[in-house]
Amino acid sequence: MKIFEELKEDHEKQRSLLKILAETSGDTPARHDYFKELKEQLESHAVAEERYFYAPLMASDDAIDLSRHGIAEHHEIDELIETLEETDMSSPGWLTHLKTLQEKVEHHLADEEQEFFDVAEKVLSASELKNLAVDYREEMQKELAKH
Does 113 or 147 have the greater pLDDT score? Answer: 113
How many CB atoms within 10 Å of residue 40? 15
pLDDT digits (tens, 9 = 90+) for 110-119: 999 999 999 9
Quick one: CA torsion of 134, 136, 137, 141, rounded to 10 degrees? 140
Residues 101-143: tens digit of each pLDDT: 999 999 999 999 999 999 999 999 999 999 999 999 999 999 9
DSSP state of 87: S
Range of the domain at 32: 3-145
Quote the mean pLDDT of the chain: 97
Q: pTM of the predicted model, to two decimals?
A: 0.95
Q: Give me the number of domains the chain comprises.
A: 1
DSSP reduced 3-state for 57: helix
* CATH code assigned at 46: 1.20.120.520
pLDDT of residue 113: 97
- The pLDDT tens digits of the residues spanning 24-53 come to 999 999 999 999 999 999 999 999 999 999
Summarised one tens digit per residue, pLDDT across range 53-70 is 999 999 999 999 999 999
- Residue 79: the pLDDT is 98
Cα 100 from chain centroid (whole Å): 15
